[in-house]
Structure 1
Amino acid sequence: MSVPTNPQQTKPSFMGTDTPGRLDVEFTMESPDFLPGGGPEHMIIGLDPIPDSIVPCFAAGTLIAGPEGERRVEDLAIGDPVTTADGRSVAVKWIGRTTVSPRFRPAERLDPVRIRAGAFGDGVPACDLMVTADHGMVLDGMVINAGALVNGTSVQRIDWRCLGDSLTYYHVETEAHDVIQANGAAAETYVDYVARTSFDNFAEYLALYGQETAVAELAMPRISAARLVPEALRARLAAGDRQTA
């Protein structure tokens, strides 16, 4: 069904809803007889958001290192200790969670990326790791978006159509922007260049802490494009590519 665009026929108004990202559009029809049977004089169309705001996250099943061993990211709770790449134990401040549907394909920069076991070196990661393309992996003193590391074999973008009806992602926030071990590979914790409002459970954060707080970013350069990855690192990834092929 189409809605006439002639301003003499329709007068749209826009209404907010209690659902984040949803928009309702109300049309007042001055000449409703363009619809079969005359049609209503008023129409409300609900527009659900296309999920193009997926935040940098770990897929369910990712193993996060802690003092007592690894735990699946979805099993972590606020206050649980996790182990940083330099051996410190820090507490989980919050676990952001978001569930998306692949029915509407998000932007390429937000594609899921699979990092094969051994892609970064012997046993790193220890098993396949899936993150969003904008999630930062830590290599050679740099935070590098996973999407910039894609080489087609050991680091691959995943076709959304292979992921079923929905996919749940998790992000781990600690008191500072830090480096933790995910499936044995160094990866960043949450940093607020993407707002916490992007997560489904943002209300939980507000209930706990009252308002959003800034997170000081790691003192490391960040690389978000493949062309900026240093040649030496690209060569090493290519060697890992051959080993995992």
Structure 2
Amino acid sequence: MPTTYTDQFYTFDPANPPSGGTSVSFVSYNLTDQNDDGDVDAFDNDSVNGSDVSSSYPGDTVTINVPGTGNVTYTGTTFYLANGDRVFTPTDGQVLANGTFVSSTWVSGQGPLDVGDLGPPCFAAGTLIETERGMTPIQDIEVGDLVRTLDNGLQPVKWSGKRTVAALDKRAPIRFAKGAIGNTRELLVSPQHKILVSGWRAELFFGEDEVLVAATHLVNADTIHRAPRRHINYHHLMFDRHEILLAEGIPTESFYPGEYILQDSDLHDEVMDLFPEMIGQAGPDWETARTVLRSKEAQVLCGDNL
């Protein structure tokens, strides 16, 4: 059965880009995984924006000069479509922004886009979150409840969400065994959920005391691994800003709309009703609470310790 996702795209080919200084704006397109095998590629009639994928190139990069921010480099996948369009979508957890084109790089090898790279940051049902009234199952936390945050004390929940998703292969949740990273109980999170990691490696290699690392990049051969199942109930908590919460006793991120909000039209509409200031912009309040590491950076950080 087909599964459709929504994501951000630049509408040019990094291998044949516009001239430097050209204005660039992102758009939202649907991606359809026709046979629901967990990837989008040139096989099985997968499509983007209604047109079949002819080829796909993971690993291309696009650098954009974003007003007020400077140059931002995105890593992602470029799709060649049957209708002649060429489109690029990020797979590095960043949010595309409007700006002017600076440069690009491209790869020659084809490959699929793993839909796991489109995943939301969220907790599995049953996860205990530290709140004003103590450790509370996430499914029992409601809008207005006070949740303890690492940076800003008790903060009220502004929005909570729930969704049930297939949880096989690359979309399987990441299981942290009790004590794997100091957690008091087993912890299940989505693959792209960010965990706060600290230590000398963070300071040495990245100049930061603390950084955020996607759970999928922490998988090891022992205490942290994928835990596939047919379905899983995921819950989200959102605040006035990106926060660091305590889940099963360890610091981890709250819902960050910049990474996922464009992937679900119903979710987009609901969140925009509550946060109209987010329309058309990320804004300073939606910067991540800490620097987010990419896959190769996470490998440098973790070394053989996880």
4+ aligned runs moved over 6 Å, structure 1: none
Identity %: 26
How does 1:101-120 map onto structure 2 within 5 Å? Answer: 101-102=166-167, 105=168, 108=170, 110-120=171-181
**Preserved contact between residue 126 and residue 137 of structure 2 (Cα < 8 Å):** yes
Larger C-alpha radius of gyration, 1 or 2? Answer: 1
Q: Paired residue for 1:40?
A: none
3-state SS, counterpart of residue 148 of structure 1: helix
3-state SS, counterpart of residue 193 of structure 1: helix
Deviation (angstroms), 1:219: 5.3
Q: CA 1:180–1:127 in 2, change beyond 3 Å: closer, same or farther?
A: same
Task: Say whether residues 1:222 and 2:288 are aligned partners.
Answer: no
Q: Paired residue for 1:205?
A: 271
How does 1:83-122 map onto structure 2 within 5 Å? Answer: 83-86=148-151, 88-102=153-167, 105=168, 108=170, 110-120=171-181
Task: State the structure with bigger RCO (CA 8 A, min sep 6), 1 or 2.
Answer: 1
| Richer in strand (by share) | 2
Of 132, 136, 139, 2:197 maps to 139
Cα distance between partner residues in 2 of 1:174 and 1:202 = 15
Q: CA 1:72–1:201 in 2, change beyond 3 Å: closer, same or farther?
A: farther
Deviation per residue, 1:147-192 (Å, 9 max, x gap): 1111121110122xxx24x211112111111100011111011223
Cα distance between partner residues in 2 of 1:69 and 1:191 = 23
**Preserved contact between residue 79 and residue 93 of structure 1 (Cα < 8 Å):** yes
**Preserved contact between residue 148 and residue 223 of structure 1 (Cα < 8 Å):** no
Of 64, 79, 83, 2:129 maps to 64
Task: Say whether residues 1:193 and 2:258 are aligned partners.
Answer: yes
How does 1:9-88 map onto structure 2 within 5 Å? Answer: 53-86=118-151, 88=153
Cα distance between partner residues in 1 of 2:172 and 2:153 = 31
TM-score (structure 2 length as normaliser): 0.52
Deviation per residue, 1:15-48 (Å, 9 max, x gap): xxxxxx698xxxxxxxxxxxxxxxxxxxxxxxxx
Cα distance between partner residues in 1 of 2:177 and 2:296 = 18
**Preserved contact between residue 213 and residue 298 of structure 2 (Cα < 8 Å):** no
TM-score (structure 1 length as normaliser): 0.63
Gaps of 5+ in 1: 1-20, 24-49, 238-245
Deviation (angstroms), 1:86: 4.3
Query: Aligned-residue CA RMSD in angstroms?
Result: 2.9
Q: How many residues align?
A: 180
Cα distance between partner residues in 1 of 2:141 and 2:289 = 26
